[in-house]
Amino acid sequence: MADRYFLLVEGEPYLAACKAWKESYERSVEAARKFVEALGATGGYSNRDTLALSGVNAVNPLPAGWKRVPGKRGMPDYMIPHEKARDPEQREAGIAARKAMDALPKANDQDDIAQLIGAPRSVHWKSHGKAEGWRSVAVSFFHTIQVTYFGDTFVLLAPDTRRVIAELMAQHEGVVIEGGEWTPPAGLRIITEAEHDLMLAQWKVSLERTKEDASDA
């Protein structure tokens, strides 16, 4: 995994963007939960890129318009809409199931926040006008940054390009960085991973104490 910043979101417009993302994400999760339960299933799978529902735990018997897909590496079987079924009725039901699943609300794109804060996805370098390359610095294959939250606190995992740039300048004589140099803007405070973990633990303790107080009341 590339080097990364832990950025505590404190200022605008970043806080508003994170809140909007949280609302869209939780709305999509709730809609997917209801969709899955209506099929009699216990869970589903999401697309790691869009976070949208892409499969549902298999049930027996299969609902009309769905087909079973064997799970891999010990994972349980799941089912997906069967839009290409040979049977016309099954095919029609599969097309309807696909439309219904695709119509579920989706979370906002995390990379919209990456663009807002100016986070680079790669470092672009040149050397003596001949050699040229790009080095990925995204925090994952799918997204430049990752939005995390606990309660109303947001922490962004974002690329820290300093080590990559230092390595490129050491490896290539006369290297010029064309893009990728980046410093988090005001409104985002750099914290350590340990500080993040401590804040998360304190929030969990506060949550548990609130539940205990409510049960004692």
User: 3-class DSSP state for residue 39?
Assistant: coil
Q: So what's the pLDDT on residue 13?
A: 97
Sheet containing strand 188-191, strands side by side: 146-150, 153-159, 4-9, 188-191
Are 78 and 116 in the same domain? no
Query: Could you tell me the sign of the dihedral formed by the alpha carbons of 188, 189, 193, 194, in that order?
Result: negative
Are 175 and 192 in the same domain? yes
Domain count, the chain: 2
Give per-residue pLDDT as tens, 86-119. Answer: 999 999 999 999 999 999 999 999 999 999 999 9
User: 3-class DSSP state for residue 123?
Assistant: strand
Report phi then psi at 102, rounded to 5: -70, -20
Give per-residue pLDDT as tens, 189-208. Answer: 999 999 999 999 999 999 89
Residue 48 belongs to a domain: yes
Are 209 and 150 in the same domain? yes
Instruction: Please tell me the distance from the alpha carbon of residue 147 to that of residue 18, in angstroms, as a whole number.
Output: 7
Are 124 and 164 in the same domain? yes
pLDDT of 48 over the 80 cut: no
Q: So what's the pLDDT on residue 170?
A: 85
Mean of pLDDT values over 150-174: 89
Residue 21 belongs to a domain: no
Are 211 and 112 in the same domain? yes
Are 116 and 190 in the same domain? yes
C-alpha atoms less than 13 angstroms from C-alpha of 91 in its C-beta half-sphere: 5
Average pLDDT, the chain: 90
Q: So what's the pLDDT on residue 164?
A: 87
Question: What confidence tier does 181 reach under pLDDT thresholds 50, 70, 90?
Answer: confident
Are 168 and 211 in the same domain? yes
Domain end (from 102, 132, 151): 102
Is the separation of the CB atoms in 135 and 125 below 8 Å? yes
Place of tokens 């010990």: 74
Are 131 and 211 in the same domain? yes
Residue 35 belongs to a domain: yes
pTM: 0.85
Are 132 and 166 in the same domain? yes
Is the separation of the CB atoms in 78 and 72 below 8 Å? no
Are 98 and 116 in the same domain? no
Mean of pLDDT values over 171-179: 80
Are 114 and 12 in the same domain? yes
Are 78 and 171 in the same domain? no
Give per-residue pLDDT as tens, 1-40. Answer: 458 999 999 999 999 999 999 999 999 999 999 999 999 9
Range of the domain at 174: 4-16+108-216
Give per-residue pLDDT as tens, 51-93. Answer: 788 899 999 999 999 999 998 888 889 999 999 999 999 999 9
Q: Which alpha helices (H) appear in 86-192, and where do they start and end?
A: 88-102, 110-117, 162-171
